């Protein structure tokens, strides 16, 4: 029943900006960490940014200073503001949430379906 729905991907020019959104819905007791991962062709999936329920953030070195992750705990949402985009940022971006479903004693990692971000002239 838990679902993560992403939006905001698309085609942008180098130097442009894009804001990805992800909303977790369903029977959720609590959400711990949320984050964004990406996988480019020929590359392994990597963590782009993560944020804890308390607001502590972690970024990949390649995106520091350009990307900003944030979340809305009330709306169960996580966002990724991407500025100064580079062609190297082209990838499929997936959001994730580590959460406790309602009535569950176990934490699960849920994934969004992924959204394509393409940075090209």
- The full DSSP string for the chain is --EEEEE--EEE-TT--EEEEEEEESSEEEEEEEEEEEE-TTS--EEEEEE-TT--EEE-TTTTTTEEEEEETTTTEEEEEE-S--GGG-EEEEEEEEEEETT-SS-EEEE---EEEEE--
Q: Is the pLDDT of residue 28 over 90?
A: yes
Taking only the tens place, the pLDDT of each residue in 60-97 is 999 999 999 999 999 999 999 999 999 999 999 999 99
């Amino acid at each position: 029943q838990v679902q993560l729905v992403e939006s905001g991907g698309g085609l942008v020019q180098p130097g442009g900006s894009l804001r990805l959104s992800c909303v977790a819905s369903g029977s959720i007791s609590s959400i711990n960490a949320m984050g964004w991962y990406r996988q480019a062709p020929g590359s392994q999936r990597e963590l782009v940014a993560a944020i804890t329920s308390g607001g502590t953030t972690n970024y990949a070195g390649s995106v520091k200073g350009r990307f900003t992750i944030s979340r809305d705990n009330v709306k169960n949402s996580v966002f990724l503001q991407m500025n100064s985009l580079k062609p190297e940022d082209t990838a499929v971006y997936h959001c994730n949430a580590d959460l406790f479903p309602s009535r569950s004693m176990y934490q699960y990692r849920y994934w969004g379906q992924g959204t394509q971000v393409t940075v090209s002239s």
